[in-house]
Structure 1
């Protein structure tokens, strides 16, 4: 078994030598091109022995604990294509985790195995247009009603990451018993992708779909987990998903700062290198402080998950802090590089565009702050 240090070095070389050179504006928002390049990169990642750090061994993964995944996810995310290459990118990284926890043996064979092996893609279709579910899953409007021995789903989903040309859908819907999760093939009649919604970010496998469910009939074996327990099941996906985002975005911000540091060490202005200017030095120092604190918060949560403990509270704190900290780092890197930073000649602008939505992904930061404060005050939790 390779040591974590050896695996990290393999990932670093793969990112520098294979993934980063393939980044291109031509593929940034091209769903078909991203699928093609994902197949190529994942084959190469398998050959390099770094595929699927978080995936079970029976599906070709490394089955690493969260602390080890944190280091490899960060390293992979220095490239905009890195997490895609290792199949540790959303939405399928948390989709596979959820299926691993809840799927029946038949569902594992039909859905989890092809996702883990990169033979199929899945989307998690929760978000809805107003007044439907967003940061508050309890506002879910999509319904699933029993009719002639079938579940009949009707609803409208929007901003669904990975939804374009996904083969599998995991869909929360409201039933008489409560919110319930369903997993099924997207070829099912009544499931229709309306469009790919243009977003500020790029390099998203499967884009961001708007989806209609119109009398979509499903058998009982489409239920994922327990009928009526969907809200609890959703949290099984969301808590580690938040933390996985932190791991990846730390890597993104680190790449931006590496580029910026190289630039200010070379660029001369007003008779001195930018690196000699105190205002630039302050931005560098603040960015390293933000990244170090972000990494420690993330690793602490990862250690708790490895111990089998709930990270509902700590992952919310990490998500809020890290999403804002990496945004500050990317913004400083852009400022330090001037025109280069806002151009497409460097990766900083693409990284900067990705950072802003992180404050919305997996629950808006304002919602997390409110939930944290209520929990702290209700339980009188000491700092």
Structure 2
């Protein structure tokens, strides 16, 4: 007999995940057909209604402890996976991007005053947030390469004045808290600084909400113009000119929490496709008995388990105190590509039904396709890993 070496989850995480799963299945999933949603995500009225129920159930922001501490990354993996069983689950429970990553970052590097003013209402689920980093391609701005950042922050006495444009800013419409990343360096030497801002602000204007393939996140993704935004020195998040370092503190866990949530969504898609294949008959027997249907679902089980294991492995690295940049890149590539295969197979197994909105499988497919790009396209992560391989072999 082979003894498994994969450690069991802590009891507190297992208990919490069980409560989250019951809430998502019993309360959130019925909202999936609610008309208060459009191509840019659930509307504010729906978000508030679901969050009120999560608050009443004692499950608002479940990965944050009552004392303000955080579950371990391994524990968070179990809880966020169950929150993702519905596309609406992360929004209802306040475990969604970009808020989850923004809360994590402010909790790590914010001052106590910043935590009281910006973080506390986010923890309560009373405020959504946006992270202003990516810029429009037509401006030659930062995307996968943040060193191309065009947005400038210029010091003016005890204040900073920020000008620029941002793009693909998730949740900007309706957000109350913003983290703006700008080039605070000189023409000769670039440096990045992050600034905390209250939203809405007349200096931060939404040019348009973009029409994108995905549509699960409140507020959608916006193109933003920043015109003479004036912020005080106490709105600097962390230290001046350390924005790139803070981005890494945020991005490694945020990449992984994306993986956790979308794993939950694909587990649900697999449940739906499997039930369909077992009930639907063709050519004299259930679809599941045809190898062309049964084998893809079996392959999905393998991919889903591999995703779970690599998420837990990367979570353990982060829990050790390591930055986990390499490991999170590996996990992001492996999980996003595997989950896309899972979602694609679910669509194929369900045939015509799979491409309709009669079930949530079609939306999961669209969301996972976008996931292969955001928080770093697969190709950029592979390129980064290849550079590390080259450095490791220099001189050999």
Say whether the 8 Å CA contact 2:40–2:221 is kept in structure 1: no
1:331 aligns with 2:329: no
Are 1:259 and 2:264 counterparts?
Answer: no
- How far apart are 1:300 and its partner, in Å? 0.6
On the 8 A contact 1:57/1:63 being kept in 2, the answer is: no
Moved more, 26-35 or 16-25: 26-35
1:170 to 170, 179, 184: 179
Aligned partners of 2:326 and 2:385 also within 8 Å: yes
State the Cα deviation string for residues 232-255 of structure 1 (Å, max 9, x = none): 011111110000001011111111
Q: Which moved more, 1:90-99 or 1:163-172?
A: 163-172
Distance 2:376 2:226 in 1: 24
Q: Where do 5+ consecutive residues of structure 2 fail to align? A: 1-9
Q: Which of 42, 54, 58 is residue 45 of structure 1 equivalent to?
A: 54
CA distance in 2: counterparts of 1:380 and 1:51, whole angstroms: 47
Choose which of 266, 283, 295 in structure 1 pairs with 2:308. Answer: 295
1:137-189 per-position Cα deviation (integer Å, ceiling 9, x unaligned) = 11111000122442110000111001112112101100126111111112434
Structure 1 unmatched runs, 5+? none
Q: 1:28 aligns with which of 13, 34, 37?
A: 37
Aligned equivalent of 2:153, options 136, 140, 144: 144
Q: Counterpart of 2:4?
A: none
SS in 2 for 1:245: helix
Q: CA deviation at 1:375?
A: 0.7
Map 1:274-285 onto structure 2 (within 5 A).
Answer: 274-285=287-298
Distance in 1 between residues matched to 2:337 and 2:42, nearest whole Å: 31
| Compared CA separation, residues 376 and 326, structure 1 to 2 (3 A) | same
Q: Give 1:54 deviation, angstroms.
A: 2.3
TM-score, scaled to structure 1: 0.95
CA contact (8 A) 2:40 2:211 kept: no
1:378 paired residue number: 391
Comparing 303-312 with 228-237, greater Cα deviation is found at: 303-312
Q: Which residue of 1 aligns with 2:89?
A: 82
Distance in 1, matches of 2:314 and 2:283, equals 45
2:246 is equivalent to residue 233 of structure 1:
yes
The match for 1:117 among 124, 132, 147 is 124
8 Å CA contact 1:29, 1:203 repeated in 2: no
Aligned residue runs from structure 1 range 3-14, under 5 A: 3-14=12-23
Deviation at 1:31, TM superposition (A): 6.3
Match of 2:211 among 187, 191, 198: 198
Q: Which moved more, 1:47-56 or 1:339-348?
A: 47-56
Q: Distance in 2 between matches of 1:28 and 1:355?
A: 19
CA distance in 1, matches of 2:314, 2:78: 13
2:130 maps to 1:127 = no
**How far apart, in 1, do the equivalents of 2:391 and 2:51 lie?**
47
- The whole-number CA distance in structure 2 between the counterparts of 1:43 and 1:64 is 22
Check conservation: 2:36, 2:45, Cα contact below 8 A: no
CA distance in 1, matches of 2:384, 2:41: 39
**1:136–1:363 contact (8 Å) kept in structure 2:** no
Q: Is the 8 A contact 1:34 1:203 kept in 2?
A: no
Preserved CA contact (<8 Å) 1:29 1:204: no
Find 2:363's aligned residue among 319, 326, 350.
350
Indicate the SS of the match to 2:33.
coil
Residues 343/188 of structure 1: CA separation in 2 closer, same or farther (3 Å cut) = closer
Aligned partners of 1:160, 1:358: CA distance in 2, in Å?
A: 15
Shift of 1:124: 0.1
TM-score (normalizing by structure 2): 0.92
